[in-house]
């Protein structure tokens, strides 16, 4: 990374198998469209002049049954783009539904990576809920803008599975669906831009979310490879050798089609899809079969995937193909309808579109719903006018390019009429063809995708707060010296963790004093600074190295309790305490806590333990589009903090600022407000007297449930993690 003036973009696509050369697309359910999308996106972004570096970050996999390529820490994609692999959740390849408990580890290792690189990204872009989770954590930690692309969304999937008769219990066991939806809700609310491929995706998928209206959406469709899908009239732009190959392809295709057609010189109507009932091939054949005029104008060719032995097909596919043959017979379409069988036509597809264009034909996609419409875009790019279902993404395509007609897929007459309109009007045909050829590169090339994305990024950057700076550290130089001598750190909650058992506390303090040279320690508490000092004083605890007070919203150092102003500045972004107080004033089930506990970055109430009430708090704040982090603990305390604030985030800030790896920091707590600092890379200790709010952390990596209560639990943790033997 030589010149540092350009944009540094990090993309997060965590699940599946990603590599630059011959990606194993289709190998499993997690390695398909999204992998292709992020690879093409990374490479294309890197081609833009204002971009200096693109990192596509994914999981590092060291699994004997897989290729070594997934084990390389970095892999170049182009001179400015590379894949970065981060280890988490062990070595083995696991399906995406099993990755959730490991994402904090991923995030923390990413912090380490960024620290080592010595440079913050200008923007982070999460893909799918898991990538969104990690990118959001980093965006909050560093104060950088967040882009999110969902690819597919949990609520939509949940509805589909419910319709298929799967129980909620089963889908949570199998897919962790509610957990995923919870993550998506948060990311939707937080992301600075949500990028979708179509309007349909917003209406059908994002609209299902509670936070839908908080989302900031931009429709930026992905691109296709224009080098492959070029117009039918432009074969001469190819080198002689390539032209020869295409001529050969064309001959085989024609031979195949001519076996079916009596008059092969007519224009033909082309359809290309998987043999799936929802693709509505029967609707198209019916339209053609019932319309004599249309049969006179054109032949029909249907390429419905790879047709193996019909007997051995899956039920859905078998039904579709059987129906196709029956309809062919019913309408007596012999000599007019081609249903080629042979093999996989993937390589021939672009030439097939061009063949259709040369014949002055049309491409039809009659699907009952088409989320995006890739084949329509490909065909249009080759100069073929389109007739497409009005349900889903195709509506965007026709709106953008004006290159065809939309139809109600459930009405065969409408499909037939639209085809005739285009086939019988040479001028209209020419116009649609030309509009597709010019419109596709403008709207569906990766280049136009990247230009629009960069435009959005530029707007975000100009309105964003400056990213996290580590200014104000000079004022606390003695602190800097102290921290640089430290090799390990203990951070503990005060109430019910540090204090509660006087004898154990005395023992712990003795130990900390003895190890003081290399072992630093601090507290992280819900109390404000004054109350924290009172509590420490009351129990005879000497000043710790630092105090993280007011649920992580304030950080102080040393005896002089110097405030970390960098942290305050970081939290102030998008923090509107007055608006929050005003919004919550109307909720009579909230009673404000003492004046003393109300802090610049913390608003606190008492609230009864009831999920319905919690939901109303969220709803109220959400309706006002306010940003916040909510922490509920001990079945009575409700804290509203800036969205960048929490005890866990404060500790990550300290780790980053002072260069102490999270894996060298032990954190101890007992209640819900300790929850987020206990997860991830730090060495977590939950004391035996903890409240039930933390039970869900059991079994997590690096969360140790000590059998000892209070300070004895902390000492036990020190032994457990062997922090005293270093």
Please give the residue ranges that form the binding site for Mg ion (CB under 5 A).
493, 495-496, 670-671
Residue 554 binding: pick among ligand GLC, Mg ion, none (C-beta 5-8 Å cut-off by kind) = none
Beta strands 603-606 and 591-592 are antiparallel
- Least Å distance, CB 604 to ligand GLC, is 4
Rounded-to-integer distance, Cα 82 and Cα 55, Å: 5
**Token pair of 693 as six digits:** 């709010």
| DSSP run (H or E) holding 665 | strand 665-669
Q: What number of chain residues touch ligand GLC (CB under 6 A)?
A: 10
Rounded-to-integer distance, Cα 364 and Cα 488, Å: 65
Rounded-to-integer distance, Cα 516 and Cα 724, Å: 11
Reduce the DSSP state of residue 438 to 3 states and report it. helix
Residue 639 binding: pick among ligand GLC, Mg ion, none (C-beta 5-8 Å cut-off by kind) = ligand GLC
**Token pair of 189 as six digits:** 């609310």
Per rule CB under 6 A, is residue 601 in the interface with ligand GLC?
no
Residue 493 binding: pick among ligand GLC, Mg ion, none (C-beta 5-8 Å cut-off by kind) = Mg ion
- Least Å distance, CB 618 to ligand GLC, is 17
Residue 53 binding: pick among ligand GLC, Mg ion, none (C-beta 5-8 Å cut-off by kind) = none
409, 526, 684, 717: which one binds ligand GLC (CB under 6 A) = 526
Per rule CB under 6 A, is residue 637 in the interface with ligand GLC?
yes
Residue 633 binding: pick among Mg ion, ligand GLC, none (C-beta 5-8 Å cut-off by kind) = ligand GLC
- Least Å distance, CB 638 to ligand GLC, is 7
Strand order in the sheet with 629-633: 591-592, 603-606, 637-641, 629-633
- Contact between 159 and 109 under an 8 Å Cβ cutoff? The reply is no
- Contact between 504 and 510 under an 8 Å Cβ cutoff? The reply is no
**Token pair of 702 as six digits:** 């690096």
- Least Å distance, CB 686 to ligand GLC, is 16
Residue 670 binding: pick among ligand GLC, Mg ion, none (C-beta 5-8 Å cut-off by kind) = Mg ion
Residue 211 or 593: which CB sits closer to ligand GLC? 593
- Least Å distance, CB 647 to Mg ion, is 10
Residue 716 binding: pick among Mg ion, ligand GLC, none (C-beta 5-8 Å cut-off by kind) = none
Beta strands 146-149 and 123-127 are parallel
Residue 557 or 637: which CB sits closer to ligand GLC? 637
Residue 706 binding: pick among Mg ion, ligand GLC, none (C-beta 5-8 Å cut-off by kind) = none
Residue 375 or 496: which CB sits closer to Mg ion? 496
Per rule CB under 6 A, is residue 604 in the interface with ligand GLC?
yes
Distances in Å between the alpha carbon of 310 and those of 301, 306, 324, 342, 352? Answer: 19, 10, 12, 13, 24
Rounded-to-integer distance, Cα 669 and Cα 495, Å: 9
State whether the Cα torsion 294-296-297-299 is positive or negative: positive
Residues 605-634 binding ligand GLC (CB under 6 A) are 633
Residue 453 or 673: which CB sits closer to ligand GLC? 673
**Token pair of 456 as six digits:** 């959005």
Residue 198 or 549: which CB sits closer to ligand GLC? 549
- E strand segments, 572-641: 591-592, 603-606, 629-633, 637-641
Interface mask (CB under 6 A) for ligand GLC, residues 33-62, using x and -? ------------------------------
Residue 275 or 672: which CB sits closer to ligand GLC? 672
Residue 77 or 715: which CB sits closer to Mg ion? 715
Token pair 């490479």: residue: 43
527, 570, 664, 679: which one binds ligand GLC (CB under 6 A) = 527
Residue 496 binding: pick among Mg ion, ligand GLC, none (C-beta 5-8 Å cut-off by kind) = Mg ion
Quote the radius of gyration of the chain (alpha carbons, Å): 30
Q: What is the DSSP string of 575-590?
A: --HHHHHHHHHT-TT-
Beta strands 703-705 and 562-563 are unpaired
53, 295, 456, 673: which one binds ligand GLC (CB under 6 A) = 673
- Least Å distance, CB 690 to Mg ion, is 9
Rounded-to-integer distance, Cα 272 and Cα 532, Å: 69
Residue 340 or 592: which CB sits closer to ligand GLC? 592
Residues 571-600 binding ligand GLC (CB under 6 A) are 593, 597
Beta strands 488-492 and 665-669 are parallel
**Residue ranges that bind ligand GLC, judged by CB under 6 A:** 526-527, 551, 593, 597, 604, 633, 637, 639, 673
């Amino acid at each position: 990374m030589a010149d540092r003036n350009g944009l540094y973009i990090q993309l997060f696509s965590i699940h599946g198998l990603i590599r630059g050369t011959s990606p194993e697309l289709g190998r499993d359910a997690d390695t398909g469209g999204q992998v292709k999308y992020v690879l093409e996106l990374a490479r294309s972004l890197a081609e833009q002049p204002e971009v200096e570096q693109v990192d596509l970050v994914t999981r590092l996999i060291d699994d004997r049954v897989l290729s070594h390529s997934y084990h390389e820490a970095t892999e170049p994609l182009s001179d400015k783009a590379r894949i970065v692999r981060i280890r988490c959740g062990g070595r083995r390849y696991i399906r995406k539904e099993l990755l959730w408990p490991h994402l904090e580890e991923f995030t923390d290792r990413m912090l380490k990576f960024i620290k080592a690189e010595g440079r913050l990204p200008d923007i982070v872009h999460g893909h799918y809920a898991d990538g969104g989770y990690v990118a959001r954590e980093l965006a909050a930690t560093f104060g950088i803008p967040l882009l999110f692309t969902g690819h597919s969304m949990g609520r939509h999937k949940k509805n589909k599975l419910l319709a298929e008769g799967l129980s909620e219990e089963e889908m949570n066991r199998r897919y962790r669906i509610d957990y995923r939806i919870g993550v998506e809700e948060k990311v939707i609310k937080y992301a600075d831009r949500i990028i979708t491929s179509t309007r349909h995706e917003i209406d059908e998928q994002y609209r299902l979310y509670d936070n839908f209206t908080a989302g900031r959406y931009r429709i930026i469709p992905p691109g296709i490879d224009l080098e492959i899908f070029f117009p039918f009239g432009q074969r001469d732009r190819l080198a002689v050798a390539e032209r020869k190959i295409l001529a050969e392809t064309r001959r085989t295709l024609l031979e195949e089609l001519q076996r079916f057609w009596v008059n092969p010189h007519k224009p033909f109507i082309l359809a290309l899809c998987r043999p799936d009932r929802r693709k509505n091939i029967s609707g198209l054949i019916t339209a053609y079969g019932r319309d004599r005029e249309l049969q006179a104008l054109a032949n029909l060719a249907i390429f419905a995937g790879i047709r193996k032995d019909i007997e051995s097909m899956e039920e859905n596919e078998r039904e579709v193909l059987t129906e196709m043959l029956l309809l062919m017979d019913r309408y007596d379409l012999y000599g007019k309808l081609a249903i080629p069988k042979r093999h996989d036509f993937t390589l021939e597809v672009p030439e097939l579109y061009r063949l259709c264009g040369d014949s002055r034909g049309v491409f039809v996609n009659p699907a009952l719903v088409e989320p995006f419409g890739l084949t329509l875009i490909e065909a249009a790019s080759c100069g073929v006018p389109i007739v497409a279902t009005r349900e889903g993404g195709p509506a965007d395509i026709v709106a953008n390019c004006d290159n065809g007609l939309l139809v109600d897929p459930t009405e065969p007459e409408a499909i037939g009429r639209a085809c005739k309109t285009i086939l019988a009007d040479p001028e209209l045909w020419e116009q649609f063809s030309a509009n597709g050829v010019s419109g596709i590169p403008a709207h569906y090339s990766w280049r136009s995708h990247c230009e629009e994305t960069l435009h959005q990024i530029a707007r975000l950057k100009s309105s964003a707060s400056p990213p996290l700076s580590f200014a104000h550290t000079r004022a606390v130089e003695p602190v800097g010296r102290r921290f640089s001598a430290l090799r390990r750190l203990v951070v503990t909650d005060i109430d019910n963790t540090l204090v509660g058992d006087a004898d154990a506390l005395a023992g712990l303090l003795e130990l900390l004093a003895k190890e003081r040279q290399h072992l630093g320690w601090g507290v992280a508490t819900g109390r404000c600074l004054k109350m924290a000092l009172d509590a420490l004083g009351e129990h005879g605890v000497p000043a710790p190295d630092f105090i993280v007070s007011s649920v992580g919203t304030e950080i102080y150092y040393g005896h002089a309790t110097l405030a970390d102003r960098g942290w305050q500045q970081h939290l102030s972004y998008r923090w509107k305490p007055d608006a929050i107080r005003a919004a919550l004033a109307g909720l009579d089930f909230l009673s404000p806590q003492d004046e003393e506990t109300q802090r610049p970055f913390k608003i606190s109430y008492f609230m009864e333990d009831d999920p319905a009430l919690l939901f109303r708090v969220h709803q109220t704040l959400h309706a006002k589009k306010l940003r916040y982090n909510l922490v509920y603990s001990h079945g009575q305390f409700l804290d509203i903090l800036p969205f960048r604030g929490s005890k866990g985030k404060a500790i990550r800030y300290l780790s980053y600022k002072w260069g102490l790896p999270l894996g060298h920091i032990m954190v101890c707590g007992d209640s819900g407000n300790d929850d987020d600092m206990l997860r991830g890379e730090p060495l977590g200790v939950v004391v035996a007297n903890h409240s039930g709010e933390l039970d869900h952390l059991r079994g997590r990596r690096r969360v140790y449930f000590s059998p000892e209560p209070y300070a004895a639990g902390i000492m036990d943790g020190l032994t457990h993690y062997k922090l005293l033997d270093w």
